[in-house]
Amino acid sequence: MFTFFLVFSVLPPLQFSGYRAPAPQRPLAIDFFERRSSLRRLEGFLLLVSLALSIVYRFVRMPRTSTTKKTGQSNSSTAANAAASNKASSKESERIDQLFYVYANRSLGLIDPEGIEKMCSDMEVDHTDVRILMLAWKMQAEKQGYFTLEEWRRGLKAMRVDTIVKLKKALPDLEKEVRRTSNFVDFYSYAFRYCLTEEKQKSIDIESICQLLDLVLGNLFRAQVDYLVEYLKIQTEYKVINMDQWMGFYRFFNEISFPDFNDYDPEHAWPLILDNFVDWMNAKKR
Question: Taking Cα atoms as reference points, which of 275, 280, 155 lies closest to residue 227?
Answer: 280
Helix pair 272-285, 243-255: axis angle to 10 deg: 50
**CA-CA distance, 18 to 218, in Å (whole number)?**
127
pTM above threshold 0.75:
no
Look up residue 241 and give its DSSP letter.
Answer: E
Distance CA 191, CA 211 (A): 11
pLDDT in tens, the chain (286 residues): 443 333 334 334 444 444 454 555 555 444 544 555 556 666 666 666 566 666 655 655 555 545 455 555 666 666 666 666 676 678 899 999 999 999 999 999 999 999 999 999 999 999 999 999 999 999 999 999 999 999 999 999 999 999 999 999 999 999 999 999 999 999 999 999 999 999 899 999 999 999 999 999 999 999 999 999 999 999 999 999 999 999 999 999 999 999 999 999 988 889 999 999 999 999 988 7
Looking from the CA of 235 toward its CB, the CA atoms found within 13 Å total 23
Q: CB of 132 within 8 A of CB of 125? A: yes
Amino acid, res. 210: C
Cβ pair 202, 183 in contact under 8 A: no
Give the DSSP per-residue string, 76-131: HHHHHHHHHHHHHHHHHHHHHHHHHHHHSBTTTTBB-HHHHHHHHHHHT--TTSHH
